Amino acid sequence: MKILITGGAGFIGSNFIRYLLASRKDIQLVNFDKFTYAGNAENLADLSKDPRYALVRGDICDAPALKSLFAAGFDVLVHFAAETHVDRSIENVSPFLQTNILGTQCLLESARRAPKLRFIHISTDEVYGSAPAGGTFTEVSALDPQSPYAASKAAAEHFVRAYGNTYGLDFVILRCTNNYGPYQFPEKFIPLILANAGDNKSIPVYGDGMQERDWLFVEDFCSAISLAMDKARPGSLYNVSAGSPQPNLHIVRAILQILGKPDFLIQHVQDRPGHDRRYAIDSSKIRTELGWGPSFTFEEGLRKTIAWYQENREWLDHARSGEYSSYYDRHYTYRSETFRT
Ligand code: NAD
Ligand code: DAU
């Protein structure tokens, strides 16, 4: 099986590549990534000698680069590449339109010309907007995105479906909740808590900290994507979640307790504009139809994550200092224009 991954130098993509290489023998993987600030070549350092894996630097908005790439003939494309941080989307919307909408459409143009390609589109629970207290969204709930990031992800999904309907593209959409685990960039909440608490620095909690997120250990999302590659029907859509939303303050306190750090590190700061209060989705469809379920409880996943960040202090230091951004140039010499099939 020949698999193209976009955005594989980021958090979930790099975990997914590692998951596939460990769980499947007969695969060829190409990771196509622009290496924005979120792309970290150190995430992939241990993979570079695996003959089943190749890295190509490139932008999903670059149609000629994609044309050359697709000449290799892929069976499956897993599309992770995106601008992903909600706070950044509030600061500057343009890169989110560029990559998440126009980039996805550019990728779809190549994908629709690729014979027998399955397009797995990685989406988010944020497309539904904020869930009412006690309620959950199913796959047929209306989309009501509230942040520029969420709006761009909702638009991207519409294009994926339109390409399926209009050109017969075989696609699967997965809407997942907040992931956490190894290799997550420390601008996101859980690694930020770990980084700051480790240095006895204050932890910024937006507003009252009672916003709820449904955290899923990244390996459990990887298993859902892998199942979808093999078993999902063309044109299907699945929610993926652990099913236990928790307030942000509970997460911070749980981490501080495990680390043996005091609660006074918590510092309430100004809330995120338009902050979604609660994300909660019903994932019974993927559990029933594909037999998926999470393997890790939140406590297990959190302990594994904390252990990973403690054992990989250098990775975290490089991510925070910016040193990680020169790793690509120091270790790789090839670029998308030198990629040949
Ligand atoms: P990330 O920010 O860690 O990584 C994004 C990757 O995409 C980076 O390697 C970056 O270099 C690459 N990229 C960005 N723009 C690109 C472009 N124009 N061309 C090629 N590569 C580009 O992201 P993540 O947290 O791993 O999320 C991956 C996907 O999963 C995203 O589509 C995101 O919307 C979705 N998602 C994330 C979560 C989560 O909790 N992290 C939850 C649900 C869905
Ligand atoms: O729900 C899935 C989404 O989860 C993904 O689609 C996004 O790509 C991903 O970034 C994530 O979005 P969130 O906004 O939920 O994640 P973030 O880690 O930024 O924030 C999690 C919660 O913690 C949120 O309620 C905001 C809050 N927060 C975050 C930061 C960075 C704080 O209170 N303080 C902080 O400093």
Active site residues: 125-126, 149
Mean pLDDT of 247-258: 98
Give the position, in ligand 1's atom list, of the atom nearest the Cα of 60: 19
Rounded to 5 degrees, what are φ and ψ at 326?
-95, -5
Percentage of residues of the chain with pLDDT beyond 90: 94
Q: Token digits for 207? A: 């507003």
Among 4, 12, 283, which residue has the most ligand 1 atoms within 8 Å of its CB, making it the best to mutate?
Answer: 12
Ligand 2 atom 23 nearest Cα: 189
Find residue 26's DSSP bridge partners.
none
Mean pLDDT of 68-81: 98
The binding-site residues of ligand 2, defined as CB within 6 angstroms of any ligand atom, are: 84-86, 124-126, 177-178, 188-189, 192, 204-206, 211, 213, 248, 272, 279
Among 206, 211, 270, 275, which residue has the most ligand 2 atoms within 8 Å of its CB, making it the best to mutate?
Answer: 206
The three state secondary structure string of the chain is: CEEEEECCCCHHHHHHHHHHHHHCCCCEEEEEECCCCCCCHHHHHHHCCCCCEEEEECCCCCHHHHHHHHCCCCCEEEECCCCCCHHHHHHCCHHHHHHHHHHHHHHHHHHHCCCCCEEEEEEEHHHHCCCCCCCCECCCCCCCCCCHHHHHHHHHHHHHHHHHHHHCCEEEEEEECCEECCCCCCCCHHHHHHHHHHCCCCEEEECCCCCEECCEEHHHHHHHHHHHHHHCCCCEEEEECCCCCEEHHHHHHHHHHHHCCCHHHEEEECCCCCCCCECCECCHHHHHHCCCCCCCCHHHHHHHHHHHHHHCHHHHHHHHHCHHHHHHHHHCCCCHHHCCC
The pLDDT value given to residue 106: 98
Q: What is the pLDDT of residues 92-106, one digit of tens each?
A: 999 999 999 999 999
The pLDDT value given to residue 276: 98
The band of 333, judged by pLDDT with boundaries at 50, 70 and 90, is: low
Contact 39, 12 (CB under 8 A): no
Ligand 2 atom 34 nearest Cα: 205
Q: Token digits for 233? A: 């029907």
The pLDDT value given to residue 195: 97
Give the position, in ligand 2's atom list, of the atom nearest the Cα of 248: 23
Would you say residue 340 has pLDDT above 50? no
Percentage of residues of the chain with pLDDT beyond 70: 97
Distance from the CA of 190 to the center of ligand 2, in angstroms? 9
Give the position, in ligand 2's atom list, of the atom nearest the Cα of 188: 18
The pLDDT value given to residue 128: 98
Q: What is the pLDDT of residues 164-223, one digit of tens each?
A: 999 999 999 999 999 999 999 999 999 999 999 999 999 999 999 999 999 999 999 999
The band of 335, judged by pLDDT with boundaries at 50, 70 and 90, is: very low
Would you say residue 334 has pLDDT above 70? no
Assign domain 2-180+218-242+278-295+323-338 to its CATH architecture.
Answer: 3-Layer(aba) Sandwich (3.40)
Would you say residue 64 has pLDDT above 50? yes
The band of 48, judged by pLDDT with boundaries at 50, 70 and 90, is: confident
Would you say residue 341 has pLDDT above 50? no
Would you say residue 339 has pLDDT above 80? no
The rounded mean pLDDT for the chain is 96
Give the position, in ligand 2's atom list, of the atom nearest the Cα of 205: 33
Tell me if 124 CB under 6 Å of ligand 1.
yes
